[in-house]
Amino acid sequence: MADPAIAIVGAGPAGIRAAEALSRHGLSAILVDEAPKGGGQIYRQPPDSFQGPASSRYGFEARKASALHLTIKRLATAIDYRPSTLAWNVCNGRLDTLCAGRGESVVFDILVIATGAMDRMLPLPGWTLPGVYALGGAQIALKYQGCAIGQNTVFLGTGPLLYLVAYQYAKAGAKIEAVLDVNPAHAKRRALFALASSPRTLAKGIYYRASLGTHGIAVEEGVTPMGIAGTDEVRDVHYRRGSVDKSVRCDAVGLGFGLKSETQDGESTVSGVYLAGDGAGIGGADAAELWGERVGLSIAARCGRRHDASRIAKIDRRLARLARFRAGLERAFPLPLLGSTLPDDTILCRCESIRVGQVKDAIRAFDVVEMNRMKAISRVGMGRCQGRMCGHAAAELLAAETRQDLAAVGRLRGQPPIKPLPMPWPGTP
Amino acid sequence: MTGHAVTERLRVDVAIVGGGIAGCSAALHLRRRGLSVCLMEKGALGSQASGVNFGGVRQQGRHFAELPLARRSREVWGRLPELIGTDCEFVPSGHLKLARNEEDLAALERYAADAAEFGLELEMMGRKRVHDEHRWLGENVIGGSLAADDGHANPRLLTPAFGRAARAVGADLREFTPVVETERDGARFRVRCATGLEVSATSLVNTAGAWGGEIAAAFDEPVPIETIAPNMLVTEPLPSFITRAVGVCGGDVYLRQVARGNVVFGGGDGWADSSLERSRPSSETSARAIERALGLVPALQSALVIRSWSGIEGGMPDDIPVIGFSSTTPNLIHAFGFSGHGFQLGPVIGIIIDELVGTGASTSPLGAFDIGRFHGAADLRHVSAANPEQEGAKR
Ligand SMILES: Cc1cc2nc3c(=O)[nH]c(=O)nc-3n(C[C@H](O)[C@H](O)[C@H](O)COP(=O)(O)OP(=O)(O)OC[C@H]3O[C@@H](n4cnc5c(N)ncnc54)[C@H](O)[C@@H]3O)c2cc1C
Ligand SMILES: Cc1cc2nc3c(=O)[nH]c(=O)nc-3n(C[C@H](O)[C@H](O)[C@H](O)COP(=O)(O)OP(=O)(O)OC[C@H]3O[C@@H](n4cnc5c(N)ncnc54)[C@H](O)[C@@H]3O)c2cc1C
């Protein structure tokens, strides 16, 4: 039996380790990633013209970053690695890709989706003002372009990334006006036990948090964000702490509420399609590497290669430990329920400029109980991001308006192209 | 014989299977007549063809058998606000059908002459005039014909709005209620649903769209229905400039610009499987439709396509629907298989079904749509009505 054609989307920690495990077992794969260089979100490589020591860019993670970059370099000759290549559609065993304006269809028997995570955004009054960036965008500006998002920055939201990005900004010498976490300190204390399952990672988190204090940066926990104010650009952030209304002046806001998988389902139910890494469930970079390797080993076994039982067992144990850590993070940084409390004039869907009040009207006018119906009637999620940005808040709003569980309102169906493509389209053979 | 325990029983005058535009408009009119109505829809109202179509509200180019119905439906489109409380974003922009070669232009002229007999006025335009009045058209257009009162509307609103209006007058519309069995029960019909609902009805209406053949077959009148899946795309919002709904001879591309600025266009087929209830757009078809759209409207060059999709529609071999009484079973009425062009007709289909149930006959000529045409039942009127220029599944 001929070896199956294997395609991997995403050359981050998960995709690279999957490709490597396959290659170790004599299996080749086509690895596509829209980025010009491998490494993924966390170990993103800067352009060649922009070199500096990895230690300054990746901090504690420099060693892992270098190891991964080395792996992709080595693999590049052994497998079919296609950087700068966007996968924009998958249907019936075929992946449609676009590279430098040229279209190509990759036929596969097995597909690994390792497309990573994106910032989870929650709409707030003023979140569409110029000067508001996703935390990830703020981090990319620093890592990839070497610049900060503003002169006086506020970081607002929750999650480990909030502290990490603030730390990275502080370290780079940027001025931070405040770090505002919507989750209270006691949530983190309660989660300590679970977090201690990954002591090294916990120590890093504590270090980031503490060094913000050393840099004299105000960290406020347990805040309720009221909105971002300004006319043409960000002027200040309003929030409430306890019963006190406060505001802080700034010219840029890094906003983020944790991460969200780029794929909507945690698990593939389609035979021959595997999910790995943060794209399948947020686990962090170390988990992504392990998960990728695990998927590579599963595929190798399926193709009749030697079954590496002890390595598989070891990975599964480490993944289980990381899952406990992850559960701790979720307790420390739960996603706030904001979608249901937003004022009616807040823009919910930024692609289509649809306000909270309009969505509520649509829900009532047509007795909407499900997300895709809500999209059909109100156009929320019909724009260029297909709901990646607003989907969560929209679901919260619908659940609250109809008194249903969040899970019961369903999820938005995506359609190709997953990212907008200019006309004409590349001819697909 | 099915494994579903009956948990709820209803007794009504009319049971309707399928909550697309045909079924929902029927529910409204039947209920307004004073009949009790239960409509069963396996998904959400208008979640199949009726909710995902191109949104063309077009009389021009139709099979002549359909024209009297389309004329009558157009009148209903004009009074949707009174009927269902919203205009469904219906814009009577005019529908411009374009010729890209001399033969096409001649065909348009012949069609216009014949359509006039049905009261449909079409205005012929030569190269100069069509370009003078539509400066955004590409060079390959050599002329066209304009149906001034055709236009386009938002398909995502039409069926839910009919459903809402039907409920407001007391029709019982059940969503997420798949019908698993329909059968004769003495002088009545028995309809069983996967949810445990069992409906007993005097009349049964089959508006099951692409699945309408299954119900016809259950009453011993199978039809050669196929699944068709028109392929659709939409761009990001652009400044408004495409002033008409546009189609071409041959039907390989059609487009319209909505008020928000997005250009919706289609042409060719995607993929669908009605048994799986799944449809997908096709990348190749999309690429070709894009090329043709660029030929027609060059200013679309570089516009971003943000989404593509398809839908599941029932197509008949002669490209016109089945509408009318069953040939095997009294009080069974079919209206399905609209072959890619039932959105415009939808509002009048409910009126026709209501006439059939309420009075036993419609004021619209239905002979060509008789289900008997597939069973050698000798009613071949549709053959003489056939029109060589009509484009079947092309909108
Ligand atoms: C903004 C941000 C900052 C983060 N910072 C940290 C951190 O500091 N520490 C930490 O432990 N974790 C961090 N994470 C989480 C981190 O991204 C992951 O733990 C890790 O990178 C996951 O690896 P992965 O391989 O699953 O995905 P990724 O590293 O995200 O790799 C996915 C790859 O897929 C590619 N891709 C996605 N879609 C397509 C497509 N359609 N076509 C082609 N290519 C595609 C992307 O270009 C990317 O290279 C961060 C995440 C985000 C979003
Ligand atoms: C992509 C696309 C583009 C189109 N463009 C146009 C256009 O521009 N102009 C135009 O005039 N027409 C157009 N059409 C055609 C038009 O959409 C259809 O002809 C019309 O919507 C048909 O309405 P319907 O009610 O018969 O079918 P549907 O809307 O399909 O409704 C039938 C309903 O029956 C339900 N059903 C089936 N079986 C069962 C069962 N056993 N139990 C319960 N429920 C059941 C289905 O779930 C479905 O909702 C297009 C169609 C498609 C797919």
pLDDT for A263: 67
Mutual angle of helices A160-171 and A199-214, in 10-degree steps: 50
| Chain-chain contact of B271 with A91 (C-beta, under 8 angstroms) | yes
| Chain-chain contact of B283 with A367 (C-beta, under 8 angstroms) | no
DSSP string, B138-156: -TT--EEEEETT-EE--HH
A428 occurs within a structural domain: no
CATH T-level topology, domain B8-53+156-225+317-374: FAD/NAD(P)-binding domain (3.50.50)
Looking from the CA of residue A256, the nearest atom of ligand 1 is: 1
Does A82 have pLDDT greater than 90?
Answer: yes
Residue A104 and residue A94: Cα distance in Å, rounded? 10
pLDDT for A267: 56
Helices (H), A99-134: none
Asked whether A42 and A61 are in contact (CB, 8 A), the reply is yes
**Contact residues on chain A for B160, CB-CB shorter than 8 A:** 366, 373, 376-377
Instruction: Pick the range with the lowest mean pLDDT from A101-115, A298-312, B249-263.
Output: A298-312
Asked whether B170 and B31 are in contact (CB, 8 A), the reply is yes
pLDDT in tens, A131-140: 999 999 999 8
CATH T-level topology, domain B91-150+227-315: D-Amino Acid Oxidase; Chain A, domain 2 (3.30.9)
- What is the percentage of chain A residues whose pLDDT exceeds 90? 62
User: Best of B341, B344, B349 to mutate for ligand 2, by most ligand atoms within 8 A of CB?
Assistant: B341
What are the CA-CA distances from residue B346 to residues A205, B22, B27, B82, B393 (Å)?
A: 61, 5, 12, 17, 16
Helices (H), chain B: 21-32, 49-52, 67-78, 80-84, 102-116, 127-133, 155-168, 212-218, 283-296, 346-359, 381-385
**CA distance, residue A15 to nearest chain B CA (Å):** 25
Q: How many domains does chain A have?
A: 3
pLDDT in tens, A381-401: 999 999 988 888 899 999 999
pLDDT for A133: 95
Name which residue leads in pLDDT, B17 or A55: B17
The upper half-sphere exposure of residue A252, i.e. CA atoms within 13 Å in the direction of its Cβ, equals: 19
Mean pLDDT for the stretch of residues B73-86: 98
C-alpha B23 to ligand 2 mean position (Å):
10
Q: How confident is the model at residue A48 (pLDDT cuts 50, 70, 90)?
A: confident
Tell me which residue in B44, B294, B306 faces A424 most closely, judged by beta carbons.
B294
Q: What residues contact residue B131 under an 8 Å CB cut-off, 6+ apart?
A: B137, B141
| Chain-chain contact of B47 with A365 (C-beta, under 8 angstroms) | no
Determine the longest span between alpha carbons in chain A, in angstroms.
70
| Chain-chain contact of B235 with A423 (C-beta, under 8 angstroms) | yes
| Chain-chain contact of B160 with A382 (C-beta, under 8 angstroms) | no
User: A127 and A107 share a domain?
Assistant: no
Q: What is the DSSP letter of B363?
A: S
B242, B243, B285: which is closest to B266 by C-alpha?
B285
- What is the percentage of chain B residues whose pLDDT exceeds 70? 94
pLDDT in tens, B236-294: 999 999 999 999 999 999 999 999 999 999 999 999 999 999 999 999 999 999 999 99
Asked if domains B8-53+156-225+317-374 and B91-150+227-315 share a fold, the reply is no
Interface test with A, best of B175, B283, B294 (most A CBs within 10 A): B283
| Tokens linked to A376 | 């059909």
Phi, psi of A417 (to 5 degrees): -80, 145
pLDDT for A203: 85
A173 occurs within a structural domain: yes
User: A125 and A203 share a domain?
Assistant: yes
Phi, psi of A149 (to 5 degrees): -80, -15
User: A144 and A26 share a domain?
Assistant: no
pLDDT in tens, A319-355: 999 888 888 888 888 877 776 788 999 999 999 999 9
**Contact residues on chain A for B271, CB-CB shorter than 8 A:** 91-92
Amino acid identity for residue A171 in this structure: K
Does A57 have pLDDT greater than 90?
Answer: no
Buried/exposed A61-84: b ≥16 CB within 10 Å, e otherwise: beebbeebbebbeebeeebbbbbe
CA A338 from centre of chain: 19
DSSP string, B105-173: HHHHHHHHHHHHTTT---EEE-HHHHHHH-TTS-TT--EEEEETT-EE--HHHHHHHHHHHHHHTT-EE
DSSP string, B202-246: EEEEE--GGGHHHHHHHTT-----EEE-EEEEEEEE--S---SEE
Interface test with B, best of A102, A105, A413, A425 (most B CBs within 10 A): A425
Q: How confident is the model at residue A282 (pLDDT cuts 50, 70, 90)?
A: confident
Residue A353 and residue A49: Cα distance in Å, rounded? 38
The per-residue pLDDT of chain B, averaged, comes to 94
List the CATH number of the domain containing A268: 3.50.50.60
Is the pTM for the entire model greater than 0.90? yes
Q: Does A107 touch chain B (CB under 8 A)?
A: no
User: A99 and A132 share a domain?
Assistant: no
Does A217 have pLDDT greater than 60?
Answer: yes
pLDDT for B295: 96
pLDDT for B3: 59
| Tokens linked to A107 | 């036929």
User: A161 and A54 share a domain?
Assistant: no
Looking from the CA of residue A291, the nearest atom of ligand 1 is: 26
User: A99 and A45 share a domain?
Assistant: yes
Among protein residues, the one whose CA lies closest to atom 18 of ligand 2: B342
C-alpha A351 to ligand 2 mean position (Å):
29
B22 lines ligand 2 (CB under 6 A): yes
In terms of CA atoms, which chain A residue is nearest residue B164? Answer: A366
In terms of CA atoms, which chain B residue is nearest residue A88? Answer: B283
User: A189 and A134 share a domain?
Assistant: yes
What are the CA-CA distances from residue A300 to residues A18, A24, A72, B373 (Å)?
A: 10, 9, 19, 57
pLDDT for A330: 85
Closest ligand relative to B209 C-alpha: 2
Q: What residues contact residue B281 under an 8 Å CB cut-off, 6+ apart?
A: A415, A416, B231, B232, B233, B270, B271, B308, B309, B310
What are the CA-CA distances from residue B283 to residues A90, A95, B384 (Å)?
A: 10, 10, 39
| Chain-chain contact of A415 with B287 (C-beta, under 8 angstroms) | no
Buried/exposed B278-303: b ≥16 CB within 10 Å, e otherwise: ebbbbbbbbbbbbbbbbbbbebbeeb
B297 lines ligand 2 (CB under 6 A): no
- Sign of torsion, CA A384 A389 A392 A398? negative
pLDDT for B209: 98
Q: Which residue has the tokens 């900004």?
A: A169
User: A244 and A151 share a domain?
Assistant: yes
pLDDT for B379: 44
pLDDT in tens, B354-374: 999 999 999 999 999 999 999
In terms of CA atoms, which chain B residue is nearest residue A375? Answer: B156
pLDDT in tens, B105-155: 999 999 999 999 999 999 999 999 999 999 999 999 999 999 999 999 999
- Burial class from Cβ neighbours inside 10 Å (0-12, 13-18, 19+) for residue B367 reads middle
Closest ligand relative to B255 C-alpha: 2
Does A275 have pLDDT greater than 80?
Answer: yes
Among protein residues, the one whose CA lies closest to atom 52 of ligand 2: B53
A418 occurs within a structural domain: no
User: A153 and A110 share a domain?
Assistant: no
**Contact residues on chain A for B294, CB-CB shorter than 8 A:** 423-424
A389 occurs within a structural domain: yes
Domain that holds residue A66: 6-118+261-305
User: A155 and A265 share a domain?
Assistant: no
Q: Does A101 touch chain B (CB under 8 A)?
A: no
pLDDT for B381: 37
The per-residue pLDDT of chain A, averaged, comes to 90
C-alpha A286 to ligand 1 mean position (Å):
12
A44 occurs within a structural domain: yes
List the CATH number of the domain containing A343: 1.10.10.1100
Residue B23 and residue A393: Cα distance in Å, rounded? 34
pLDDT in tens, B182-207: 999 999 999 999 999 999 999 999 99
User: A286 and A250 share a domain?
Assistant: no
Interface test with B, best of A94, A98, A363, A373 (most B CBs within 10 A): A373
User: A140 and A248 share a domain?
Assistant: yes
Residue A124 and residue A122: Cα distance in Å, rounded? 6
Does A428 have pLDDT greater than 60?
Answer: no
CA dihedral of residues B382, B386, B392, B395 (deg, nearest 10): -110
**CA distance, residue A372 to nearest chain B CA (Å):** 9
| Spans of all domains in chain B | 8-53+156-225+317-374, 91-150+227-315
pLDDT for A280: 81
Region of residue A223 (left: phi > 0; alpha: psi -120 to 50; beta: else): beta
| Chain-chain contact of A366 with B164 (C-beta, under 8 angstroms) | yes
User: Best of A45, A278, A293, A388 to mutate for ligand 1, by most ligand atoms within 8 A of CB?
Assistant: A278
| Chain-chain contact of A383 with B286 (C-beta, under 8 angstroms) | no
Q: What residues contact residue A299 under an 8 Å CB cut-off, 6+ apart?
A: A6, A18, A22, A27, A110, A112, A274
In terms of CA atoms, which chain B residue is nearest residue A414? Answer: B307
